[in-house]
Amino acid sequence: MHDRPLHGVRVLDLTNVLAGPYCTYHLMLLGAEVIKIELPGRGDLARRLGPDPELNRAGLGTSFLAQNAGKKSIELDLKDEAGRATFAELVTHADVLVENFRAGVLARIGFSWERLRTLNPGLVYCAISGFGQTGPMSQAPAYDQIIQGLSGMMSVTGTPDTAPLRVGFPVADTVGGLSAALAVTAALAGRQQDGRGCFLDVSMLEASLSAMGWAVSNYLVSGVEPQPMGDQNATAAPSGTFDTADGPLNIAANRQEQFETLCRLVGRPDLIDHPRFADREARKLHRDELNKHLNDALRRRPALEWEQLLSAAGVPAARILTVAQAVAVDQVVGRGFVTELPLPAGTPAAVRDRTGTLRVSGAGVLVDGEPLTPPAPPPGLGEHNADLPELVRRWRGAR
Q: CB of 19 within 8 A of CB of 124?
A: no
Q: How far apart are CA 140 and CA 288, in angstroms?
A: 43
SS3 category, 232: strand
DSSP, collapsed to helix, strand or coil, labels residue 234 as coil
Question: How many residues are given for the chain?
Answer: 399
CB-based contact 124:200 (threshold 8 Å): yes
Residues designated catalytic: 173
Strands, E, within 44-88: which ranges?
72-75
Would you say 247 and 320 are in contact if contact means Cβ atoms under 8 Å apart?
yes
Rg, Å, the chain Cα set:
25
User: CA 92, 96, 101, 107 torsion: positive or negative?
Assistant: positive
Q: Which of the 8 DSSP states describes residue 112?
A: -
Strands (E), the chain: 10-13, 33-38, 72-75, 96-99, 124-129, 198-203, 239-243, 248-252, 317-319, 338-342, 357-361, 366-367, 370-371
Type of residue found at 155? S
Task: Say if strands 248-252 and 370-371 run parallel, antiparallel, or are unpaired.
Answer: unpaired
Q: Which residues contact 114 (CB under 8 A, 6 or more apart)?
A: none
Positive or negative CA dihedral for 370, 170, 212, 125?
negative
State which amino acid sits at residue 232: Q
Assign residue 104 a region: left if phi > 0, alpha if psi is -120 to 50, beta otherwise? left
